[in-house]
Amino acid sequence: MGFYFICYTLIGVCFNCADTIRLSSQDHRRSQNTLFFLGNSPLSQAILFAALISPYLALLTSLLQGGFWVIATLLEIVLGALIAKRLFPSSLINLGALVSPIILVIIFGALWGFWWI
């Protein structure tokens, strides 16, 4: 159970980092707080898209593998998002969004049975 808790909480952290940067790029009043290292390139859009779609993939994976455990998965993702929102400074949000593809590939590879962690 600890493995799933850590995985889904990290997915929530990656999601919140990407969502904060996405909201900052849309609202210029927020853009002074968080500026993504890569700017507005196609690579940055792909990174943000992968991190923004990851909670939905996690919920679908949890629903298919565990049934009603999807409720616990949702709460763990929300917990991860709240941790990132409340505790991370803007530089750590940028770093979290930058390394989120690596984190998500490792987590989803383990969740889908491609490898063991």
DSSP letter for 68, please: G
Write down the H helix ranges in 1-117. 2-26, 42-66, 70-87, 90-111
Q: Can you say how many angstroms the Cα of residue 9 is from the centroid of all Cα atoms in its chain?
A: 9
Q: What is the pTM of this model?
A: 0.88
User: What is the rounded CA–CA span in Å between residue 34 and residue 48?
Assistant: 14
Percent of the chain with pLDDT over 70: 90
Please write the tens of the pLDDT for every residue from 6-58: 999 999 999 999 888 888 777 766 555 555 666 777 888 888 899 999 999 99
Count other C-beta atoms under 10 Å from residue 17's C-beta.
28
Identify the band that residue 97 occupies on the pLDDT scale cut at 50, 70 and 90: confident
Percent of the chain with pLDDT over 90: 50
Q: Residue 57: which of 23, 93, 1, 7 has the closest Cα?
A: 7
- Tell me what pLDDT residue 41 has: 76
Query: What's the mean pLDDT in 73-93?
Result: 92
For the cut 80, the answer to whether the pLDDT of residue 117 exceeds it is no
Distance (Å) of CA 35 to CA 6, 7, 21, 28, 66: 27, 26, 7, 10, 38
